[in-house]
Structure 1
Amino acid sequence: MTFEEPTEPTTAPARKSGRAVVINVLRWILIALVVAAAVWQLWVNWEAVAFTIGDLQWHRTTLSFIAVIVGMACATLSWQVLLDDLGKPIGFGRGAQIFLVGQLGKYLPGSIWAYVLQIELGNKAGLARARTFAATLFSVVIAVFAALVCGSVAIPSLMASDPRLSWLPWLYIVLPFAAILLWPPVLTAIVRIGFRILRRPRPDHPVTLSVVAKSLGLAIGSYLAFGTHLWLLADTRQGLTINPWALCVGTMAVAMLAGLAFFLLPSGVGARELVIIAALTPIVGVGPATAYAAVSRVMFILADLLTAGTAAGMAVIARRRLGPYTGDPDPGPAAV
């Protein structure tokens, strides 16, 4: 009888570095602390929160939810304007699937997963990774620029109502850099260098000012819609007047920026609510402000799921009607 010596596996499973383990542990501790703080805030103010939620007007709540969806549509189009300018247009159905389904990655700790998922979904749809990466990167810069512009109307009120937000003006350090990056000659140079490094055919025309302006206008439109969402949801005691609306627009822009700054948190949970509560507390009180922040978060989650599912269905219909997308030469092995 002979015994065969066990063969060692050719590749050993990779071990996470000590630094990666520490960062992962700290991330989950941070998430636990944020969740615990949110639960405590709800518990302390539960009577006012429950009353506020029960007192919501269904027609304004419905319009508020529709405003969230409009804002997401504007954000999608802002991204797709850039994507389509870098090559053969892919169509709204397929583009919406890439952007909106990819956005679900933000609910994982570390917002980078949304961008990674968008790039891979784009590659599967037939887009070169370099093209999707460029469109996603520039859309983030445009979104930050638009948020800083819209948020400027709310920052003085936010700082006055909550000293913990005194750091907000520091966000404007990035404004001149974002403006430089969005200048068409600079944007064109970055695109060409990036495509050359990734060994992909560069676009056959420079990025134009009209494309940047259209994408920026749609990004601003998304914050106007998100602010209208908060205005319809929360401004039940002040009446539909322009001052609370402008405050809500600026608040949602700053809240989105805060969520982006605290990228370790899934979808900026906690940071966004802190900004909303700080803005609304002087108007409606801390209990109702907490309730509105919680309802807003739930609406965004539902809208994310609804729009992603709808976009996935639109992409299937587009594929059946138009066939596979063949706009980018050699997009990669994952393309179908």
Structure 2
Amino acid sequence: MLKSLFARLKPYLKTYLRWVVLGATLFFLAQTLKSNWQEVAEIRLRDRGGSFLVLAFGVTMLAHTWSGWVWGWILRECDQSVSMLWATRVFLKTNVAKYLPGNIWHFYGRIREATQIGLSVMAATASVVLEALLMAASALPMVALALPGHRADLSVVALAAVLVGIHPRWLNPVLERLERVKLKGKLSDNPLFRMRRYPLRPLLGEVAFVGLRGLGFLLAWAAITPWEIDRLSLVFGGFSLAWLLGLVIPGAPGGIGVFEATAVAVLDGEFPAVTVLAAVALYRLISVAAEALGAGLAVALEGLRDRRRSD
């Protein structure tokens, strides 16, 4: 009876959990901003700060575009023949959907676009799951820079678990079971897909992606205050931890709230709170603007392609 009751309540609990997470993080940010409001209002960009922001925007735009290219690699590792330009365009077009409630609509959009051109549903689904795993694995070594002692060791253990889990020897049996359930015995008409090799190239691609995102944040930081070279690794590690938690914690579309709260919590004790708040706010604006521009360009290119085909 309790099991049945829990099953009925589970969808509602998930919904409320999302709102609790989002509400708690926004409350934390509001309290921090309230305590430092006057100082934040007095923040001004440095000389050449505008140049740093332009560079941050360009690097962040490159990161999103590069991530679409890496998704194309992941699809190819899943034995799907796709155009890299198609993968990049679809990735950019769907990326802004992660800001919708539920934080899954960008994945849904990519799977739908993939199946519309005849790709395997399971392969498309595996590609978006594998993409998130590879992103997390790529951020974990950098997270260790911001964590002291044994906590850093935990990130290494988590990294090892992810790297082992994505090996075809372990991942393929899981995917095959899921596909057998989905196909319900129709294997003759729907051959099972398998990963042929370890996804090393996509993993290295995601490492570059996280590195570009971190560089974008450092450039936004430099627009406000000069870099302290001996502490750049701490800033980069704090960003990586905040970005990772924004990626994996449910209930925060696009990581909004979780990313900002984590960055403030990790870096506040090491740097002035006003600097952290200003850098985080600037970077969020830069990231959203880059994603919006990427989506707009992708839609425009798609429309141009369709017009050419109709002529």
TM-score bracket, normalised by the shorter chain, equals 0.7 to 0.9
Q: Which residue of 2 aligns with 1:139?
A: 131
Q: Among 297, 300, 319, which residue is 2:284 paired with?
A: 297
Q: Please state if 1:202 is matched with 2:189.
A: no
How many Å apart are 1:129 and its aligned residue? 1.8
Count of residue correspondences: 296
Tell me how far apart the structure 1 counterparts of residues 235 and 42 of structure 2 sit (CA, whole Å): 22
Q: Which residue of 2 aligns with 1:274?
A: 261
Amino acid at match of 1:304: E
Q: In the alignment, is the contact (CA less than 8 A) between 2:22 and 2:258 conserved in 1? A: no
Amino acid at match of 2:169: P
Which segment drifts farther, 274-283 or 289-298? 274-283
Which segment drifts farther, 270-279 or 144-153? 270-279
Q: Which residue of 2 aligns with 1:223?
A: 210
How many Å apart are 1:103 and its aligned residue? 2.8
The 3 A distance-change label for structure 1 pair 35 and 184 is same
How many Å apart are 1:317 and its aligned residue? 4.5
Tell me how far apart the structure 1 counterparts of residues 305 and 171 of structure 2 sit (CA, whole Å): 31
Amino acid at match of 1:233: A
Q: Please state if 1:43 is matched with 2:51.
A: no
Q: In the alignment, is the contact (CA less than 8 A) between 1:188 and 1:207 conserved in 2? A: no
Q: Among 109, 129, 137, which residue is 2:101 paired with?
A: 109
Tell me how far apart the structure 2 counterparts of residues 312 and 62 of structure 1 sit (CA, whole Å): 23
Report 1:1-336 matches (<5 A). 17-55=8-46, 57-156=49-148, 170=154, 173-199=157-183, 200-203=190-193, 206-209=195-198, 212-235=199-222, 237-239=225-227, 241=229, 243-282=230-269, 284-317=271-304
Q: CA RMSD in A?
A: 3.1
Amino acid at match of 1:28: W
Which segment drifts farther, 143-152 or 176-185? 176-185
Any stretches of 5+ residues in structure 2 without a counterpart? 1-6, 184-189
Q: In the alignment, is the contact (CA less than 8 A) between 1:195 and 1:202 conserved in 2? A: yes
Tell me how far apart the structure 1 counterparts of residues 227 and 13 of structure 2 sit (CA, whole Å): 49
- Kindly provide the CA deviation profile for residues 73-114 of structure 1, in whole angstroms up to 9, marking residues without a partner as x: 232222210112334432233212332333323213333333
Percent identity, please.
Answer: 20
Q: In the alignment, is the contact (CA less than 8 A) between 1:150 and 1:223 conserved in 2? A: no
Amino acid at match of 2:281: A
Tell me how far apart the structure 1 counterparts of residues 232 and 272 of structure 2 sit (CA, whole Å): 17
Which segment drifts farther, 190-199 or 214-223? 190-199
How many Å apart are 1:153 and its aligned residue? 1.7
The 3 A distance-change label for structure 1 pair 206 and 167 is closer
The 3 A distance-change label for structure 1 pair 27 and 184 is closer
Any stretches of 5+ residues in structure 1 without a counterpart? 1-15, 160-165, 324-336
Normalised by the length of structure 2, the TM-score is: 0.81
Amino acid at match of 2:158: V
Tell me how far apart the structure 1 counterparts of residues 44 and 119 of structure 2 sit (CA, whole Å): 44
Tell me how far apart the structure 1 counterparts of residues 23 and 61 of structure 2 sit (CA, whole Å): 29
